[in-house]
C-alpha cells in the first residue's frame, strides 16, 4: 500500500471541518488501509486523521500501543464519524503532530473520554479511553473539525516548543 504524503501547516485543508460519511463511498476502504500504512511508516506516530493526508472525510486511525508511554489502550483503532460523547477531568500534556513537525505544545484536554463511531466494517463502536489514549482521540477528532493543537494552547510564548528531534 502507498505511504501517503502528510499535509503540513499552514495548508488550508487542515483548518477545514470534515463532513460526516452517510454512505459507503468508493475507495474508503483503500484510504483507511493507506492511512494505517502511513501511520506505521512514521516511528512513534500514534494517530492520523484523514485531513492530514488530503481527505475531508471524518476518519481517524489510532494505535497508542506504538507509544513509548506505557498505558492501557485499545490498540489499533479505525473510527469513522467519531464523536466525543463524554469528557471527564482535565490534564495538560505535551502534544506533537505530523502536520506541524517542528513544534510541540502544552495542551489542556480531558483526562477521560467516551467516543462513539463506526469501525471500518461500519459496526458501531463505543471507546472508553483515559490518559494518553484519551488525548490522542481528542487530538485526532479535533483535526476532523479543522482544529490544530496550536488552537488549544493558552500562550504561544510559554506553551509552544521547538522540537529538537522527530
Q: How far from each other are the two terminal CA atoms of the chain, in whole angstroms? A: 24
Can you point out the beta strands (E) in the chain?
47-49, 59-63, 76-88, 91-97, 100-109, 112-118, 124-130, 160-162
Pull the grid cell for residue 122: 461500519
List active site positions. Answer: 140
Amino acid at each position: 500500500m502507498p505511504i501517503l504524503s502528510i499535509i503540513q501547516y499552514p495548508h488550508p485543508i487542515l483548518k477545514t471541518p470534515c463532513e460526516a460519511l452517510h454512505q459507503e463511498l468508493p475507495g474508503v476502504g483503500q484510504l483507511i488501509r493507506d492511512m494505517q500504512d502511513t501511520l506505521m511508516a512514521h516511528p512513534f506516530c500514534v494517530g492520523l486523521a484523514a485531513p492530514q493526508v488530503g481527505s475531508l472525510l471524518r476518519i481517524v486511525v489510532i494505535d497508542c500501543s506504538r507509544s513509548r508511554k506505557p498505558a492501557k489502550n485499545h490498540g489499533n483503532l479505525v473510527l469513522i464519524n467519531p464523536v466525543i460523547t463524554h469528557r471527564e477531568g482535565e490534564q495538560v500534556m505535551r502534544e506533537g503532530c505530523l502536520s506541524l513537525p517542528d513544534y510541540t505544545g502544552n495542551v489542556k484536554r480531558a483526562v477521560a473520554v467516551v467516543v462513539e463511531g463506526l469501525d471500518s466494517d461500519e459496526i458501531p463502536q463505543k471507546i472508553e479511553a483515559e490518559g494518553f489514549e484519551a488525548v490522542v482521540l481528542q487530538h485526532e477528532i479535533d483535526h476532523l473539525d479543522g482544529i490544530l493543537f496550536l488552537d488549544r494552547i493558552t500562550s504561544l510564548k510559554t506553551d509552544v516548543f521547538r522540537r529538537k528531534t522527530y
